[in-house]
Structure 1
Amino acid sequence: MSRELGPVDHGRLLEALEIEARVLGEVAHTASAEAPVPTAPGWTVRELVRHVGSVYGVTLGWLREGRKPAQWQRGPRQDETVADHYAVARDAVIAELAAHDPADHAATWWPADPTYGFWRRRTLHETLVHRVDAERAAGTAHPAVPADLATDGVDEVLTLYFGHRLAVMGLAGTRLGTVGVQTGGHSWIARAGPDRMEAWRCSPEEAEAADELVSGEPANVYLWLWGRAAPTAVISTGGHDLAAQLWALLRLATR
């Protein structure tokens, strides 16, 4: 029986990954390779595609070798184009994930979930966020993000990156306090401070009792937490300092 850690089941995650990875490749093909990516300063579309292809390669290393690869494959081989490198890695990682039950054991960088399901979710959201980046580079004004995937992504970025990744990186908040997050019928609390960084799902009442509350449409909250939307994309009540700290810390964890 597969373990479902988020609002979306693993079958939907894999299906969405296949769609998002295909669309990202199509958008990158139609955009100029040298077009700047406004939501990822310093990157061009070419660098964006190279990055995602490399992430797929690293994911395959975790799955096939049972550990983090010794080094990233930063780019295509001499006989490969960036687009070919991306396509080969994309097809390989999707095939590997599809060939295993999400509950099957797999090495991961999150002790709470050592399964193939972790990588279905992580690979989807890596792809989805960068598909949005590619569409922004191509001139799409408001890239669409399905509400169910956005809600799942909010859960992932809070529990995985805020609640785990920041501590691994040795990063912490300077102000102690809690931020409630509400969207898509789900609620969370993120608590930061000099000696603690944690996030968990909670009741609506608990979220509303936090020091500050961030809410909005799922796509807006998701993209805001990933640094892809302006502060005005979400509604912040009870103040702004702790919400700003949450956003800034996540920018460090997810870059």
Structure 2
Amino acid sequence: MTGRALVDHDLLLEVLRAEVGLLARSAEGARPELPVPGCPGLTLGETVRHVGGVHRMALAWLRGGTRPVHWQRQPPVGRALTEFVLTGLAELLAELAAHPAEEVCSTWWTVDQTYGFWRRRMAHEATVHRVDVQGAAGLEIDPIDEQIALDGIDEVLTLWFAHRLTVLGVSGTASCKVAVQAAGHTWLVSAGPKGTAAWRTSEADAAQAQAVITGSARDVYLWLWGRVSNRHVRVQRDHDAVAQVWALLRLATR
């Protein structure tokens, strides 16, 4: 499937629209200095500003065909952060919707050079940061659809853990394999001095792993992004192997 996604790319476009709208509503009237739970040093205002800037970065990349050097990262003087994020969303959505998901374009992942990559990446960017904003504002965290969470697990493992750590030249210290399981899906994660990798596999292959991480799709998704603690997932067997994967994920996704 284009973009390696587990769900339809039109759905991912709708997720992007809905999640950013929810993020903006959750931030409305909240103090920008409120800290984001689980992300030391990150505040509600910085999160909203970041999302608005990322939308403009992606739009500049799509229109220019190469990684941009400059893009608008701050709202104009006197303009609200929520307006900044919503206007950026509107332009990005229009650009993404104007091109089929399978159409070729420049991205930062060699495996997927299509508009589908950006639909998927922006949808998960919005979902994770919506959770951040709601947590900072002290609101109840809205649910995440199971299929979206499963696709998010796949994205963080294959794009961030496997690809980005390789690009950064970061590897593990001890060789290990960890299985990640949620809602009938299984991934194997490999880390060690020779590098990192992650791939979809069958439940039977989990037996070759030193450790297994299980939980609901939503909890595993947020755990991989560092948004919930170990008490939200179940860790079996080698806890040191899981600790190494956790530490590498924090480097990959920061």
Q: What TM-score do the two structures reach when normalised by structure 1?
A: 0.95
2:124 partner letter = H
1:47 partner letter = E
2:200 partner letter = R
Structure 1 unaligned spans of 5+: none
Give per-residue Cα distances to partners, 1:49-77, cap 9 Å, x unaligned: 10001111111111110111113533123
Structure 1 CA distance, aligned partners of 2:15 and 2:183?
A: 18
Structure 1 CA distance, aligned partners of 2:106 and 2:251?
A: 24
Q: What TM-score do the two structures reach when normalised by structure 2?
A: 0.95
2:223 is paired with a residue of what secondary structure? Answer: helix
Once superposed, what is the RMSD of the aligned Cα atoms?
1.4
1:161 partner letter = W
Structure 1 residues 71-220: aligned runs within 5 Å: 71-78=70-77, 80-220=79-219
Q: Say if 1:53 and 1:42 are closer, same or farther in 2 by CA, change over 3 A.
A: same
Match of 1:252 in 2: 251
Q: Which moved more, 1:151-160 or 1:165-174?
A: 165-174
Match of 2:40 in 1: 41
Q: Say if 1:26 and 1:141 are closer, same or farther in 2 by CA, change over 3 A.
A: closer
1:196 is paired with a residue of what secondary structure? Answer: coil
Give per-residue Cα distances to partners, 1:124-156, cap 9 Å, x unaligned: 000000000001011135442211111100000
1:11 partner letter = D
Structure 2 CA distance, aligned partners of 1:68 and 1:225?
A: 26
Structure 2 unaligned spans of 5+: none
The number of aligned residues is: 254
Q: Which moved more, 1:103-112 or 1:208-217?
A: 208-217
Structure 2 CA distance, aligned partners of 1:219 and 1:188?
A: 15
Q: Say if 1:56 and 1:220 are closer, same or farther in 2 by CA, change over 3 A.
A: same
Q: Answer whether contact 1:173 1:192 (CA < 8 A) is retained.
A: yes
Residue identity (%): 46
Q: Answer whether contact 1:175 1:194 (CA < 8 A) is retained.
A: yes
Structure 1 CA distance, aligned partners of 2:169 and 2:141?
A: 35
Structure 2 CA distance, aligned partners of 1:107 and 1:56?
A: 15
